[in-house]
Amino acid sequence: MTTTHTHALLLRSNDFGESDRILHLLTPETGRVTVIAKGARRSVKRFGGNLDFFNHLRIQIEQRRPTSMARLELAKLERTFHGLREHPGRFALGCYVLEALDRLAPEGGARVERERLFHFGLAALDWIDGGTPDRRMRVLLELRTLDAVGLRPELARCVRCASALGPADGPLVPFRVGDGGPVCAACRSPEDQGLPIHLGTLRALQSSLGFELSALARIGLSGNALGEAEGLLRRFLRFHVGLELRSEAFLTQLTLREPEGKLRPPEARP
């Protein structure tokens, strides 16, 4: 029997049988992992209300046989991201990020990558917790999620010849979603029907990758550039997920009404 002590974020939860739950967790130790929490629905003594979304947990999982599903034995609450429970827009964006991680995060992988992905999950929830979820925040989170799971689109170089894009390639560059990036003027052929994107939009997205999530409020992305970035990332995400994320419809209902532009501090609730 192998016992693992680690940290975790809940990505998805399904009821199983009369009293159990199957949990899909993201951990720095194992990456994305599926465990069974015996008695989680029947007894509140063992796990309390800890097995909930937007909770940073410290957990103990036991693998009795290599072929059986690991069992969750302990889940202590480390931190809860309250803001996501108390603001529908933040809740929708948090669910969207968790669902994207659940669909795209690999099981296993190199330790450094697993840790990076887990810390991205925490940082993303922290950023949403303290901000107002508008279209810009959604776009930047989509890009950072793709980056965290190793599916970052190429934004600065031609996907065919790897040369850096310059003014001679623009102002509009065809972006080939299937190939994962833009095509420069020299490599372009008349049959290249990529998504037309302004060079400035690609540069804004590229520069956002160099910032900590908490500092992304400094990135200027609005108007046409925001619309272009939305179209690009949504097509890119759908191409790689294979279908629309279930949480997208609710998120779109809420964020479409939000004004674009700089992040505002969270409004005070009575």
Partner 1 sequence: MKTAPPIERLVANLKRLPGIGEKSATRLAFFLLSSPERLVTELADAMVRVKSEIVLCEHCFDLTDVSPCPICRDDRRDAKLLCVVEEPADRAAIERSGDWPGRYHVLGGALSPIDGVGPEDLRITELEGRVRTDGVKEVLLATNPNAEGDATAHYLGDRLRATGVRLTRIGYGMPMGGDLEYADHVTVGRSLQNRRELD
Name the site residues for partner 1 (rule: CB under 8 A): 12, 17-18, 44-45, 48-50, 52-54, 76-77, 80, 84-88, 91-92, 95-96, 98-99, 102, 246-247, 249-251, 253
* Residue (58 or 235) nearer to partner 1, CB: 58
Question: CB of residue 259 vs partner 1: minimum separation in angstroms?
Answer: 16
CA gap 194, 114 in Å, rounded: 33
* Residue (27 or 80) nearer to partner 1, CB: 80
* Residue (27 or 50) nearer to partner 1, CB: 50
Question: CB of residue 245 vs partner 1: minimum separation in angstroms?
Answer: 9
Q: CB of 153 within 8 A of CB of 182? A: no
Q: Which residue blocks in the chain are alpha helix, DSSP H? A: 44-47, 88-104, 111-130, 135-148, 199-208, 223-241, 248-255
* C-alpha radius of gyration, the chain, whole number: 20
Question: CB of residue 201 vs partner 1: minimum separation in angstroms?
Answer: 28
CA gap 80, 45 in Å, rounded: 19
* Residue (20 or 228) nearer to partner 1, CB: 20
* Residue (145 or 201) nearer to partner 1, CB: 145
Question: CB of residue 99 vs partner 1: minimum separation in angstroms?
Answer: 5
3-class DSSP assignment, residue 170: coil
Angle at 174 between CA 199 and CA 161, to 5 degrees: 90
Backbone angles phi, psi at 153, to 5 degrees: -70, 150
Question: CB of residue 11 vs partner 1: minimum separation in angstroms?
Answer: 8
